[in-house]
Structures are given as structure tokens and as C-alpha cells.
């Protein structure tokens, strides 16, 4: 297909996003930012004094994946764990503001809502506080999650699993979910954590970054760049899933179950901040697959989306217009 035809095809796929419904399951978090000016050192200790100017909130973790899907005009159902605390109320407010469906957020009395607080001075992160209670969810909570997804599965086009290894994603839950998606012929895309590698067998697509991919195959980090092809093929064989490895400034490498390997160069013009690029690309790739894209087309669209995100500071999203413009200008 000629370049113009490829571009038109990608645009056509993107225009289908607005009709799609995506369920995101994972470790939801609230990101809080404390913004301030730094002009002196404290007389009490050798630390900077931050004069606070403002505070802001944004969905974090798996909730940022849902935020990216909503920004791309699709309907999103957020499924995850929250505690009975004020952080939950703030997170729900931020999600509702972005038209994200929150009925899949399940209260767990043994958990707190995860919050990450970042202190920013002179546009640099000075400090981060994490509020979380580690440990896997119990079987009661696991069943509540699965029951919610079972009721919703016929209404949605794809499931994204956004695993931050905070306890929401268990082996049993993943196995049941992959069977359910197979039965219902639904796409399931996983943004993985290496320690849970075996949880993801038989998913439609798994999207590790370079570091995660080499940890999942036990290659040394310094060998990873030279061995992306070996790593991808090993993961594909072990997990019986299509594999998309994101390699930062080098772009992406796609390994399909039919044996096809495709390397897609990055579309990023300038890299300011890689935070959230993985969330953006997994959102875009799942939406594209749900809209009828081939794996290669979906990876190309996701690569454009990630290229836009890294050109922005902080956790950010991509709009349909930005995505179209990036593709048209390539």
C-alpha cells in the first residue's frame, strides 16, 4: 500500500475510536502535585524550602490509562480497588470530570486508595511520597472484580490490564479473565510487570517496555538492545501472545504469533518526559485493535501517540486531533 493509502487507513481507524468501549482493570492511583518556588535552604536542615503556589490532582497508574482512552473520545470503564478514605473521593471526582465510568471501583476495607504526591519546584520533581498498603487482594475482592467484568463483558470491545504490581492483579483473576475474553471473543491487552509474567499467558497482546522485556527473559540490561529480537521471540513462545516491546527513543518492535517481526521507528520529535508514555501507547494500541486495525497498524498508531506524549512535561494525554496531525505530517 502506498504512503497516502496507509495514512488514510490509519486515519479511518482513529475515527472509529469514538464508537468504542474499553474496560481498564488495574492498580488505580491518585497523583497529587504540589507546585512551588524554591529560593532558599531551610535553617533547620540542609534541605530546600518549597513555597507552595498551587496543588493539582490527576488520575494515576491504571486510572491514567483510562484517562488516555477518554481523551481519545472512547467510553471507558475503570475497574480497580479503592479504600474508604478521602483519597477515593478525590480520585472519583477526577475520573468523573473526564467522563470515566467509576462503578467498577470496588471498596476493599483492607486497602487504602493509592496516592502518589510529587513536590515540584522550578519544574523539577524534588520529592515523592507514596501512600499505599501492599499485598494482593483477598478472594472476596477478586470475585467482586471478576463478577463486575463478567456483567460488562458483552458491552465492551476490549479489556486493558494495567498491572503496577500493587495487588489488584492476581494469578487466579488473570487466568479467569483470559478465559472469559477468549469465550466472548474480546481483545485483551496487558501492560505487564515482570514479576507477574506467567499471569499473562494467552493474552491477545502484551506490551512490555525494553527494561520489563529483558527482566521477563533474564537477559542482562546491557545486552537488551542487541537482543530485542531474541527477547521478543522468547516471550512470544513462552506466553503464546503477540508481543509489542517499546524501546523508548528507538520506537517499537512487534512480534506476531504468525512469525512476523516489525520494527517501527519512533515518531517523537523531542523527548521532554517519558512519564505516562506507556499508558498512552497501551490505550492507543487497544483502541486501534478494537477499531479493526492489524497489529502493525495498531502499533504504528500507538507509536505516534507515545511520540506526542514524550514531548509534554508530566503525565499527559493525547487528543484525536494531535494523533491525526502526527500521522498526516509523517
Which active-site residues does the annotation give?
Answer: 279
- Sequence-distant (6+) residues with CB within 8 A of 66 are 24, 59, 76, 78, 95, 98, 100
User: What are the cell numbers at 22?
Assistant: 474499553
Residue 255, CA distances (Å) to 58, 230, 236, 238, 311 in order: 33, 10, 7, 13, 27
What is the SS3 assignment for 51? Answer: strand
Q: Region of 130 please: left (phi>0), alpha (psi -120 to 50) or beta.
A: beta
CA-to-CA distance for 194 and 198, rounded, in angstroms? 9
Alpha helices by DSSP H, 98-154: 139-152
CA-to-CA distance for 263 and 74, rounded, in angstroms? 28
Residue 309 dihedral angles phi and psi, to the nearest 5°: -60, -45
Taking the mean position of all CA atoms in its chain, how far away is CA 146?
Answer: 20
Residue 175 dihedral angles phi and psi, to the nearest 5°: -60, -45
The strand pair at 205-206 and 187-191 is best described as: parallel
Of 219, 221, 220, nearest to 233 by C-alpha is 219
Taking the mean position of all CA atoms in its chain, how far away is CA 121?
Answer: 27
Q: Give the H or E element holding residue 76.
A: strand 75-82
What is the SS3 assignment for 85? Answer: coil
Of 216, 228, 232, 246, nearest to 310 by C-alpha is 246
Amino acid at each position: 500500500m502506498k504512503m497516502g493509502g496507509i495514512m488514510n487507513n490509519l486515519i479511518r481507524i482513529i475515527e472509529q475510536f469514538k464508537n468504542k468501549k474499553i474496560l481498564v482493570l488495574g492498580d488505580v492511583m491518585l497523583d497529587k502535585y504540589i507546585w512551588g518556588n524554591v529560593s532558599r535552604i531551610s535553617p533547620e536542615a540542609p534541605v530546600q524550602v518549597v513555597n507552595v503556589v498551587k496543588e493539582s490532582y490527576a488520575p494515576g497508574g491504571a486510572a491514567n490509562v483510562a484517562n488516555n482512552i477518554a481523551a481519545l473520545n472512547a467510553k471507558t470503564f475503570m475497574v480497580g480497588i479503592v479504600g474508604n478514605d478521602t483519597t477515593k473521593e478525590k480520585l472519583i471526582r477526577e475520573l468523573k470530570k473526564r467522563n470515566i465510568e467509576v462503578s467498577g471501583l470496588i471498596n476493599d476495607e483492607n486497602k487504602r486508595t493509592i496516592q502518589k504526591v510529587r513536590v515540584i519546584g522550578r519544574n523539577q520533581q524534588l520529592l515523592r511520597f507514596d501512600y499505599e498498603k501492599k499485598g494482593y487482594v483477598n478472594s472476596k475482592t477478586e470475585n467482586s472484580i471478576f463478577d463486575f467484568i463478567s456483567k460488562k463483558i458483552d458491552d465492551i470491545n476490549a479489556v486493558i490490564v494495567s498491572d503496577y504490581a500493587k495487588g489488584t492483579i492476581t494469578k487466579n483473576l488473570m487466568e479467569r479473565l483470559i478465559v472469559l475474553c477468549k469465550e466472548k471473543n474480546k481483545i485483551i491487552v496487558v501492560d505487564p510487570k515482570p514479576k507477574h509474567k506467567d499471569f499473562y499467558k494467552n493474552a491477545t497482546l502484551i506490551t512490555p517496555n525494553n527494561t520489563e522485556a529483558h527482566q521477563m527473559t533474564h537477559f542482562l540490561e546491557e545486552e537488551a538492545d542487541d537482543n530485542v529480537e531474541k527477547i521478543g521471540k522468547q516471550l512470544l513462545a513462552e506466553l503464546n501472545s503477540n508481543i509489542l516491546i517499546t524501546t523508548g527513543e528507538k520506537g517499537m518492535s512487534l512480534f506476531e504469533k504468525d512469525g512476523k517481526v516489525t520494527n517501527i521507528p519512533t515518531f517523537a520529535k523531542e523527548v521532554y518526559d517519558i512519564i505516562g508514555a506507556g499508558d498512552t501507547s497501551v490505550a492507543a494500541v487497544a483502541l486501534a485493535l478494537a477499531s479493526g486495525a492489524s497489529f502493525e497498524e495498531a502499533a504504528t498508531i500507538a507509536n505516534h501517540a507515545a511520540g506526542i506524549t514524550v514531548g509534554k512535561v508530566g503525565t499527559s494525554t493525547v487528543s484525536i486531533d494531535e494523533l491525526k496531525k502526527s500521522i498526516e505530517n509523517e
